């Protein structure tokens, strides 16, 4: 069955059943592999993408339910938030194995878009759906704050 999806600003025709999770269509059909599989049951956040700018777990989102909503993956993430986050992540050497980090960055980007000055509770709330088995959480927390500073410094 052909389904069209708006991924990173381009319309993509995919040949997959409508119950196929978005994650596997992104990875196997569209061949964008930055979005990761970690659990398949919306518990780990490795598969986080944005749907109309909101973070969602793509492993638990059937493509048939998406319609013309806009999907953004780590490859298509281009915003002042994401640039600040990536710079902060590099500066603080956040990533260890790195496998969770696409998902972390997608969640962090959505958080900073909604809240340019998150405190620890805000960060915990927005990021608690993203597991990092390397436990880089301390640097993720510091990284979100550093990214917020960078964004605010630009705006001043």
Partner 1 sequence: MVSRRRFLKTSATFGAGFTLSMTLPAAASKLASGAAEAKTVANAFVRISSDNLVSIMIKHIEFGQGTFTGLATIVAEEMDADWDQIVAEAAPANKELYSNLLFGAQGTGGSTAIANSYTQMREAGASARAMLVAAAAQQWGVPVAEITVSKGLISHASGRYASFGEMAGAAAEQEVPKTVVLKDPANFTLIGAETVSRKDLGKTDGTAIYTQDIKLPGMLTAVVAHAPRFGAKVKSYNDINARAVKGVVNVVQIDSGVAVLADTFWNAKKGRDALQIDWDTSVAMSESSEEQMQRFRQTAQQPGLPAVAEGDIAKGFENAAQIIEAEYEFPYVAHATMEPMNCVAQITDAGAEAWYGCQSTTSDQYAIASTLKVAPEKVKINTLFAGGSFGRRASKNSDYVLEAVQIAKANKSDAPVKLVWTREDDTNSGYFRPMYFHKMKAGLDSGGKIIAWHHQIVGQSIMANSALSMFIKNGIDGTSVEGATELPYHIANFAVNLNTVESQVPVLWWRSVGSTHTAHAVENFMDQLAAAADTDPLAFRLANLGDDTRYRGVLDLVAEKAGWNAKNTSGRLKGLALHKSFGSYVAQVADLSVDKNGNYKVDRVVCAVDCGVAINPDVIRAQMEGGIGYGLSPALMTEITIENGAVVESNFDKQQVLRIADMPEIEVHIVPSAEAPTGVGEPGTPVIGPAVANALFAMTGKPRPTLPLGVKV
The verdict on 138 binding ligand FES (CB under 6 A) reads: no
- Binding to ligand FES in span 54-73, by CB under 6 A: 57, 59
Tell me how far apart the alpha carbons of residues 27 and 40 are, in angstroms, rounded to a whole number: 13
Q: Which of 3, 7, 38, 146 binds partner 1 (CB under 8 A)?
A: 38
User: Site residues for partner 1, window 64-93 (CB under 8 A)?
Assistant: 73-75, 85-86, 89-90, 93
80-108 as b/e: b if 16+ CB within 10 A: ebbbbbbebbeebebbeeeebbbbbbbbb
**Residue 65 binds which of ligand FES, partner 1, none (CB < 5-8 A, kind-dependent):** none
CB of residue 154 to ligand FES, shortest distance in Å = 27
* Candidates 50-58, 109-117, 135-143, 148-156; binding stretch for partner 1 (CB under 8 A): 135-143
Q: Does 101 bind ligand FES (CB under 6 A)?
A: yes
Task: Please check whether residue 58 is in contact with residue 40, taking contact to mean a CB–CB distance below 8 angstroms.
Answer: no
Tell which residue, 50, 80, 79, has the closest CA to residue 66. Answer: 50
With CB under 5 to 8 Å by kind, the binding choice for 57 among partner 1, ligand FES, none is ligand FES
Asked whether 56 and 64 are in contact (CB, 8 A), the reply is no
- Closer Cβ to ligand FES, 123 or 151, answer by number: 123
Q: Using CB atoms within 10 Å of the CB of residue 130, give its burial: 0 to 12 exposed, 13 to 18 middle, 19+ buried.
A: buried
Cα dihedral across residues 102, 105, 109, 115: positive or negative = positive
Choose between 81 and 89: whose C-beta lies nearer to partner 1.
89
Would you tell me which residues interact with ligand FES (CB under 6 A)?
Answer: 37-40, 42-47, 57, 59, 95-101, 132-134, 136
């Amino acid at each position: 069955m052909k389904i069209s999806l708006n991924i990173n600003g381009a319309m993509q025709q995919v040949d997959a059943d409508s119950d196929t999770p978005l994650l596997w269509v992104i990875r196997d059909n569209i061949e964008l592999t930055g979005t990761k599989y970690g659990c398949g049951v919306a518990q780990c956040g490795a598969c986080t993408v944005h749907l109309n700018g909101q973070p969602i777990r793509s492993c638990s989102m059937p493509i048939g339910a998406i319609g013309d909503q806009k999907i953004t993956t780590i490859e298509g993430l281009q915003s002042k938030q994401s640039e600040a986050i990536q710079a902060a992540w590099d500066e603080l050497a956040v990533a260890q194995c790195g496998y969770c980090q696409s998902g972390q960055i997608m969640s962090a980007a959505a958080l900073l878009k909604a809240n340019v000055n998150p405190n620890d509770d805000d960060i915990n709330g927005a990021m608690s759906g993203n597991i990092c088995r390397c436990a880089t959480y301390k640097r993720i927390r510091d990284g979100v704050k550093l990214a917020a500073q960078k964004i605010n410094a630009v705006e001043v």
